Amino acid sequence: MFTGIITDLGTIRSLEHRGDLRARIETAYDMETVDLGASIACNGVCLTVVAMGADWFDVDISAESVSKTNIGDWAEGGRLNLERALKVGDELGGHLVSGHVDGVAEIVNMAEEGDSTRFTFEAPEALARFIAPKGSVALDGTSLTVNEVEGTRFGVNIIPHTKAVTTWGTAREGDRVNLEIDTLARYVARLQEWQ
C-alpha cells in the first residue's frame, strides 16, 4: 500500500526488453534501506525491486502492466514519481493507494488559476463513474482531490509545491497518466450492484 505522497523523482536510466521489460531507475533513496523484493510505486505502478545499486534499482514489468498503464510511453531520461511502500505507523498524508493502476487518463486542458494549475482529464468511460467531486484519485501515483466531474472529464488543481516535487511541473496537454480510482469508490459501486 502507498499514500500517493511522492517522496522522490526518479530518472529512467535504461529500458531493456527481455521477455518482460526491465527498467533501471536512478533514485535518491538510500538503497541500503531497501530490500530486494520491496515494492516501489513508479508513476503509481507498484513494481518489485529485482536488483539494486547505490543509487539505482531495477524492476521487471510484465506485458499486462505495460498494456494497462502509460509505461509504454516511458523513455530513457524520463522522470518518474516514486514512493516507497507504506509502513505501519507512517503518516497517511494522501489516501490509501494500492499501486494497481485501473487505466490511463489523458490531460485535455491546463489553465493557470492563481499560483495553481487546473488540469482537466479525460477518463476511460468504464472508470469515469467511480470518480466523484471532492473524492480522491491517484494520477501518476500522486494523491489528488477531484474538483468537478462532467461525464468522462474531471478536474484537479495542482499547487506549486506539488509541481516542484513531482513530474506535474513538466506535464503537458496530451500526456497520458496512470489513473487509480479510490478503493472505497470501487467497493461502494460493487455493493450497489448487489442491491
pLDDT digit string, tens, across residues 54-97: 999 999 999 999 999 999 999 999 999 999 998 877 777 778 88
**Bigger pLDDT: 186 vs 39:** 39
Residues 23 and 80 in one domain: yes
Residues 116 and 188 in one domain: yes
pLDDT for the residue numbered 114: 94
Q: pLDDT band at 194, cuts 50/70/90? A: confident
CA distance 190 to 195: 9
CA distance 56 to 49: 10
pLDDT for the residue numbered 96: 82
Structural domain boundaries enclosing 59:
8-84
Is there a domain that residue 92 lies in?
Answer: no
Residue 134 has pLDDT above 80, yes or no: yes
CA distance 56 to 159: 29
Residues 54 and 116 in one domain: no
Is there a domain that residue 129 lies in?
Answer: yes
Q: pTM to 2 decimals?
A: 0.93
User: What backbone torsions phi and psi does residue 53 show, to the nearest 5 degrees?
Assistant: -135, -165
What residue type is assigned to position 33 of the chain? T
Residue 188 has pLDDT above 80, yes or no: no
Residues paired with 12 in a beta bridge? 25
pLDDT for the residue numbered 195: 67
DSSP state letters, 58-78? EEEE-HHHHHHSSGGG--TT-
CA distance 61 to 134: 33
pLDDT for the residue numbered 92: 75
pLDDT for the residue numbered 46: 97
CA distance 62 to 53: 22
Is there a domain that residue 98 lies in?
Answer: no
Is there a domain that residue 2 lies in?
Answer: no
Residues 172 and 113 in one domain: yes
Task: Note whether 92 and 3 are within 8 A (CB).
Answer: yes
- 53, 84, 115 — which closes off a domain? 84
* Averaged confidence pLDDT in the chain: 94
Residue 155 has pLDDT above 70, yes or no: yes
Count how many domains the chain has.
2
Percent of the chain exceeding pLDDT 70 equals 97
Tens digit of each residue's pLDDT (9 = 90 or more) over 94-123: 788 889 999 999 999 999 999 999 999 999
pLDDT for the residue numbered 85: 94
Task: Note whether 56 and 40 are within 8 A (CB).
Answer: no
